[in-house]
Structure 1
């Protein structure tokens, strides 16, 4: 009932908090290796470390005060607006760090003056410590990146051709300066006050011997996937600051202790029933040694009273850690017993071991009691896993260990969301679609342009559709579209996304399926006839006829103005005059008349690549090494786009051989064989940055229109070819 109400209202506090926690986690988790490196440096080389070393100790302070917050800022900004957001986010965060230091210096100077005026010795004065700006970075960097993105969208369609680089560089620099000043005077005082308040609150709990009480919040939060907001939003920043001052922090152990979970799993091992009992031993091993706490959540959801066992175990573990004064020198991620001992302070091994045993013991005893005295079914672990995945919003990466391959289907059924039967790891609305290829500049840009047009025509202006190289993907995308040979590589980087494989880039029927899926997920009330085909299944079926648009999707497409259907996606650089010949900013044309051949001499894909590549070499855009890379790319993935078009280009590793962005155009009136397809047009691409994407989008729009393709076939001059690519589509 709660889930249904939340869906109808469009707002869920739980889901909102999950999203906030996920964002915080995504900023911190990639930088955990840097935190571990700092922890090792601290453990060995500070004055009280294993092997004190004064020169190396000098790196401890700068790492925690500057490097680690700026790494988080870089990640946070990149999450919002890629490299541009990362740069602006780091600049803005530097202002927060400097502003915090300036405030601390002012407070210390005033306190010292009062101390001396009272007749105290200067040597006895205790200065306020620095505030490490982890929370500041997690607030300022994404905010600055988001504002930069919105500002770019305001003027991206009004930049004269040839001035893109000038505007982009200066706009980011000027706004970065403004954000730095705003962080210095605006956010720094707020974060200083917040960190002081939180630190005093933790100190008060410790002094009052009440720190174990926090388990009442942490243990239920873990099961409902709210722990990231607590752990990475509060405990990790406070823990790092504490460790920077004291060399260790007990705060890192509040959430990562595997004892409560393993106690519950051991209780099921001995006193459970059915599938739950059979799967519990394996789950316990994964949870204790692998550090994947998520795997015990379904066992709690099968019998919710067990949350009390988790709380009891957590409180026992915290109490022992406090009693023994234990702590970790950096966060333990994942929460494995091996990771915990790997970053434990040198005086904390015994106390941590006893804390884990106490947590597991109390949790085991309470779980056994609840399993014995309460009614226990046969252990429907699949249903409980489905419930967990419904709360999580996507499939669990470890659910297969509990229920086998069928867990995902059960989760989809329990979620009850339209389109959930597509077999993907994603069950919520779709807001981000990426078309990925090996290099991220040719086929993916073409495919993204065609797919973006269809998504916009369906009325989904807020759905981002862009292109990237597979090597730059992370698990932030809702839908990933790739050529079928690349799908497995993309899955390795985006495991929770819906993966769609295509054979052709220009006219694949899978694009219509993606639009239907977006319609079903984003408008569940109007998706009674939502598609149920597996978006990932049977790559060989990519050529099947597309389902006709219907329902709300069809109505939106009919009502939407035609001129809006080709609108560029947010963040795409599109000059006001789309018909202009784009250049690199140095007056050099991307596609010049000298790089256009109306009657090619090649006979197959290999010689076609040679002919298109030779034009790029002759234009001074690449050297021969790039042409070799074009052949290497074709050997792994075909660059045939459909509609008689092939776009050969080099691999991602070959970008260093590109001197400037350029394109070549070769027409074969009789057609040539290209990996089993008849090809009449070959367009070679070499892209340094994004300068060529404007023309490439026009090429995509042209080849998606049969009338325009016919005009290309009948063209009699290079200038006519350029004019066709420059014409606005009706």
Structure 2
């Protein structure tokens, strides 16, 4: 397979899949959660101010408590609306979306979170359509005038529509939903919600459920009652903790060995996604997390436990931080989480002890099956190609982005893990994370996503190299990424000499240093990169640093761009013959050592020996 074919294979969009109910719900829920998650800090700030300064709080303060109502009525909905509009049409869409949301805020007496989720994207969509329609019709010099007035007029019209139309409809729907939720709580049926919530979490609908549905309803309830049990339905860490504890005691192989560390990340770090593969490796374990969730919610409901705001991430620490200042609430919260853990553990323990089929690699096998269980076939991956083609496909990669639903939590953890591996391998590579909605089709990009988001990654970055994994927190593919990066960096860009090539003469001995080099004055060695290719020069820099350190030489080794050099005699530039021609046309003072092999030239031993 040629290199061109490899690139074509790895960058082509994944085949479309049949759209099921779960996929549509996930897409809709992702849109909702992507408006909330970037602003979760503001929700936490509001929750802390409420918990600390309201009457009955930790340190009641009537003056500071005046911030509570304006924040929940204006700040939080406007932030959501701006984010929603910005997702559709950038900053301009965010502004129009925020203006439009003022109509539903003023036209209603309740916090308009759902209204903001409608008007924000609507404002961004409307201004985007307007801009597209008049893009080629505005005379030169009038662009700013038209843009400013069109945004203002569009925002005003949408605000009026929101005031008279959307606001009353949302207020009525919210009131009906609130009545329904209150009825469920009164008749003690709320725990049954976990029958649906726990399996949905495993299918990565947790953001859709929590940020898209429970958080807006919980905020409205907490604004009047001071707390809400709805903030505990999805973030409760008890079911996951009990499951992992059962694996730590009764699991086998990799699953048993990894469970203790997973418990710490899950319970204290609040990254619930880490236990999802453990459930999928044995579908009967759905019963364990469902039983734990129902038990926890039933306990919270019975003891009237609630939180003042959504805990993010869903760690035990954040649950207590967001709890009202009440001993009974603290005790009820602790009891609910404990009972959820115990019940989930007992059910999972019975299932695991009765299971005779689990083997050492069962966790890895389950992770490998996650894509098929959730979305069918995975996105096209480089691992399907021949090894040489895989290495070639990495030739232009200069930054890596982990993309997940919300751009937080597990993707940040995954980016941190790979960043550490890349750093230890001596590879100079940017590794970051973002929400998949913010992903851009950039040159030199390697996108790493979870399997269920592979299609969306292909749509957002069709020309990027893409890799899908089952679990951001424990994928063996990270090691392969590092191996591929190191391998591509060691592949010489120069063609190998043919057997007919003339042998080097004594004057051209590849192990001899050229005459005229004055290495005694050199205090800095530089490997230059040019034409945007950093790989080989980066690896060569790392290897040379090791040589210099072992030789106890006081010389700095760097990797810089060919345009960033200082023209000084104390600078030794190591370059390929091709780069040397470019160097000599630009610089007259720098010393140049030309070699065909930047990684392991036979000249390096004598060069290092001659350094001061």
Q: TM range, normalised to the smaller chain?
A: 0.5 to 0.7
Gaps of 5+ in 2: 1-13, 386-396, 400-410, 413-421, 446-457, 467-479, 495-557, 565-578, 587-612
Q: Secondary structure of the residue that 1:417 maps to in structure 2?
A: coil
- Once the two structures are TM-superposed, the CA of residue 263 in structure 1 deviates from its matched residue by 0.5
Q: C-alpha offsets along residues 481-536 of structure 1, whole Å, 9 cap, x if unaligned?
A: xxx99x9775324487697539xxxxxxxxxxx99x938999xxxxxxxxxx9798
- State how far apart, in whole Å, the 1-side matches of 2:184 and 2:119 are: 29
Residue in structure 2 matched with residue 329 of structure 1 by the alignment: 308
Distance verdict in 2 for CA 1:268–1:47, change over 3 Å? same
How far apart are the structure 2 equivalents of 1:674 and 1:182? 67
Determine if the alignment matches structure 1 residue 152 to structure 2 residue 136: no
Aligned to 2:86: 78
Question: 1:690-701 residue pairs with structure 2 within 5 A?
Answer: none
Distance 1:415 1:44 in 2: 49
2:277 and 2:367 in contact (8 A); partners too: yes
Partner of 1:338: 317
Q: In structure 2, what is the Cα distance between the partners aligned to 1:176 and 1:89? A: 7
Between the aligned partners of 1:544 and 1:10, the Cα distance in structure 2 is: 43
- Report the secondary structure of 1:491's partner residue: strand
1:427 aligned residue:
none
CA distance in 1, matches of 2:228, 2:313: 17
1:501-650 map, 5 Å: 501=444, 518=462, 537=485, 540=489
Corresponding position: 1:194 with 2:180: no
Aligned position for 2:233 = 254
Checking the alignment, whether the CA contact within 8 Å between 1:270 and 1:277 is kept in structure 2 is yes
Contact 1:74-1:86 within 8 A present in 2 as well: yes
Match of 2:351 in 1: 370
Listed one character per residue, the Cα deviations across residues 253-292 of structure 1 (whole Å, up to 9, x for unaligned) are 0000100001011111111111111111111111111111
Distance across 2 between alignment mates of 1:167 and 1:276: 61
Aligned counterpart, 2:337: 356
CA contact (8 A) 1:85 1:144 kept: yes
In the superposition, relative to structure 1, how do residues 44 and 521 fare at CA in structure 2: closer, same or farther (>3 Å)? closer
Q: Of the candidates 79, 100, 104, which is equivalent to residue 92 of structure 1?
A: 100
Counterparts of 2:377 and 2:52, CA distance in 1 = 49
The answer for the alignment partner of 2:148 in structure 1 is 169
8 Å contact kept, 1:638–1:675: no
2:449 is aligned to none
Displacement of 1:227 in angstroms is 2.5
Superposition pairs for residues 681-720 of structure 1, below 5 Å?
A: none
Per-residue deviation, 1:26: 1.6
1:64 to 53, 63, 72: 72
Contact 2:398-2:444 at 8 Å conserved across structures? no
Match runs of 1:171-570 below 5 Å = 171-347=150-326, 348-379=329-360, 380-388=362-370, 415-419=377-381, 421=383, 491-494=431-434, 500-501=443-444, 518=462, 537=485, 540=489
TM-score (norm 2): 0.63
1:228 Cα deviation after fit: 2.2
Shift of residue 201, structure 1, vs aligned partner: 1.0
Rounded Cα–Cα distance in structure 2 between residues aligned with 1:318 and 1:342: 19
**RMSD, matched Cα:** 3.8
Shift of the 305–204 alpha-carbon distance from structure 1 to 2, 3 Å rule, reads same
Give CA-to-partner distance per residue, 1:296-340, whole Å, 9 cap, x none: 110100111111111100011011111111111110011101111
Counterpart of 2:313 in 1: which secondary structure? coil
Q: Return the structure number with greater relative CO, CA threshold 8 A, min gap 6.
A: 2
Query: What is the CA-CA distance between 1:172 and the residue it aligns to?
Result: 1.1
Matched residues in 2 for 1:377 and 1:77: separation? 48
Alpha-carbon distance between aligned partners in 1 of 2:311 and 2:584, rounded to the nearest angstrom: 53
Distance in 1, matches of 2:179 and 2:316, equals 30
Alpha-carbon contact 2:562-2:583 (below 8 Å) kept: no
The question of whether the paired residues in 1 share the 8 Å contact of 2:247 and 2:256 is answered with: yes
Structure 1 SS opposite 2:139: coil
CA distance in 2, matches of 1:167, 1:674: 52
Asked whether the 8 Å contact 2:442–2:464 carries over to 1, the reply is: no
Structure 1 stretches lacking a partner, 5+ long = 1-5, 101-129, 394-413, 424-434, 438-473, 476-483, 503-513, 523-532, 546-634, 641-645, 647-671, 680-730
Tell me the secondary structure at the aligned position of residue 266 of structure 1. helix
**Gap change, CA 1:519 and 1:343, over 3 Å in 2:** closer
**How many Å separate the matches in 1 of 2:125 and 2:114?**
17
Contact kept? 1:43, 1:50, Cα under 8 Å: yes
1:564-598 Cα deviation digits (max 9, x unpaired): xxxxxxxxxxxxxxxxxxxxxxxxxxxxxxxxxxx
After superposition, residues 134-145 of structure 1 pair within 5 angstroms as: 134-145=113-124
Shift of 1:381: 1.3
8 Å contact kept, 2:57–2:324: no
- Do the aligned residues in 2 keep the contact of 1:491 with 1:499 (CA within 8 Å)? no
Q: Summarize deviations over 1:687-724 as a string: whole Å, max 9, x none.
A: xxxxxxxxxxxxxxxxxxxxxxxxxxxxxxxxxxxxxx
> What is the aligned residue count?
429
Could you tell me whether the CA contact under 8 Å between 1:260 and 1:313 is conserved in 2? yes
Q: Structure 2 vs 1, CA of residues 13 and 164 (structure 1 numbering), >3 Å: closer, same or farther? A: same
* Cα distance in structure 1, aligned partners of 2:23 and 2:581: 49
CA contact (8 A) 1:501 1:542 kept: no
Contact 2:203 2:374 in 1 (8 A): yes
The structure-2 alpha-carbon separation of the partners of 1:205 and 1:29, relative to structure 1 and needing over 3 Å to count, comes to same
Q: Which residue of 2 aligns with 1:684?
A: none
Deviations 1:417-462 (A, max 9, x none): 3345499xxxxxxxxxxx999xxxxxxxxxxxxxxxxxxxxxxxxx
- Asked if structure 2 preserves the Cα contact closer than 8 Å seen for 1:297 and 1:388, the reply is no
8 Å CA contact 2:93, 2:128 repeated in 1: yes
- Taking a change above 3 Å as real, the CA distance of residues 495 and 275 of structure 1, as seen in their structure-2 partners, is farther
SS of residue in 2 equivalent to 1:11: coil
Change (3 A) 1:674 1:78: farther
- Hey, what's the Cα distance between the residues in 1 that align with 2:368 and 2:357? 19
CA contact (8 A) 1:268 1:277 kept: yes
Q: Secondary structure of 1:204's partner? A: helix
Alpha-carbon offset, residue 678 of structure 1: 7.0
C-alpha separation in 2, matches of 1:674 and 1:326: 74
Instruction: Tell me how far 1:540 sits from its aligned partner.
Output: 4.8
Secondary structure, counterpart of 2:444 in structure 1: strand
